[in-house]
Amino acid sequence: MKMQTYYYVLASQKFLLEEEPTHEVLKERTRHYHEQEKQIDFWLVPQPAFLETPQFTELKAKCPQPAVAIISTNPQFITWLKLRLEYVSTGEFQAPSETIPDALASLATVS
């Protein structure tokens, strides 16, 4: 399986889902993609599993939990989100890998 670079915006769930109009942004983006007949290349991942890997220990410690990530294969979209949301961490990682078998895995329990 080919490695893919994933880009992310990370913040606390409270900030991303309650204090910011993130749902509106993603809804608008989804609508835009459908109009352009473009495949969706971003996902909202609650409690992202990639944070549990050794390379993200420091980042996880800095981010209020529970965390939420918006993960995308489109770096421009993540840059745009970062400018729009301001108080978020951004970065990238490769997956699938030894430590991150599934880029979009979540540790959130489905209730």
The verdict on pTM exceeding 0.85 is yes
pLDDT of residue 55: 96
Q: Which residue has the tokens 């835009």?
A: 32
Fold of the domain built from segment(s) 4-95: Alpha-Beta Plaits (3.30.70)
Output the CA–CA distances (angstroms, integers) from residue 69 to 36, 40, 53, 64, in the order listed: 25, 16, 15, 12
pLDDT digits (tens, 9 = 90+) for 11-30: 999 999 999 989 999 999 99
Please report, for the chain, the start and end positions of each structural domain, with discontinuous segments joined by +: 4-95
Helices (H), 36-88: 57-62, 75-85
- 3-class SS of residue 87: coil
The three-point CA angle 87-97-76 to 5° equals: 40
Q: By the 8 A CB rule, do 7 and 37 touch?
A: no
Kindly state the percentage of the chain with pLDDT values over 90: 91
What is the pLDDT confidence band of residue 86, given thresholds at 50, 70 and 90?
confident
Helix, strand, coil shares, percent, the chain, to 5: 40, 25, 35
